[in-house]
Amino acid sequence: MIHAISVRTKPGVDFQDITEEVQEAVSAGGVESGMCFVFVPHTTAAITLNENADPAVLEDIAARLEAAAPLRGQYRHSEGNGPAHVKASLVGNCVMLLVDRRRLVLGTWQGVFLCEFDGPRERKVLVKVMADAEEKK
């Protein structure tokens, strides 16, 4: 089963911590041990796993992405959101996480983030939890 998470994002570049929502999907999935696949089906948004303790980390990431794909750069894409597409491609549209005892296996400071590069928008994040082969037996 695929669990959908709805996220309302803010204007411009925005990082939304969705760790709790992903954990809820894992808990509801009933998988004791396995994998959790988190995917965003949008071309101007991304998913990343990074530090959720110091907001300066996300500010640094946003600044480096802006340097790589500046808002005022030259883009051929006619909709005006070319930099958002580039940033989403650089970050990526999914992460794969371990599940143990119905919990995400994360480092002390790690969190799962929806990265918005063309907000504000209503975004959908899809979560699929899969059991280990051993658990299926």
- Give me the phi and psi of 134, to 5 degrees please: -65, -35
- pLDDT score of 136: 61
List, for the chain, all residue ranges whose pLDDT scores fall below the cut of 70: 135-137
Sign of CA dihedral 45, 70, 14, 54: positive
Q: Identify whether 120 is preceded by a cis peptide bond (ω within 30 of 0).
A: yes
Distance (Å, whole) CA 115 – CA 9: 9
Report pLDDT for 71. Answer: 87
**What are the structural domains, with CATH classification, of the chain?**
2-136 (2.60.120.460)
| Residue 31 tokens, joined | 């998988």
Query: Tokens 């980390």 sit at which residue?
Result: 57
**pLDDT confidence of residue 135:** 64
Q: How far apart are CA 30 and CA 102, in angstroms?
A: 7
Q: In this predicted structure, what is the pLDDT of residue 137?
A: 58
Nearest-angstrom CA–CA distance, 115 and 38: 13
pLDDT at 2: 96
Return the pLDDT at 80: 87
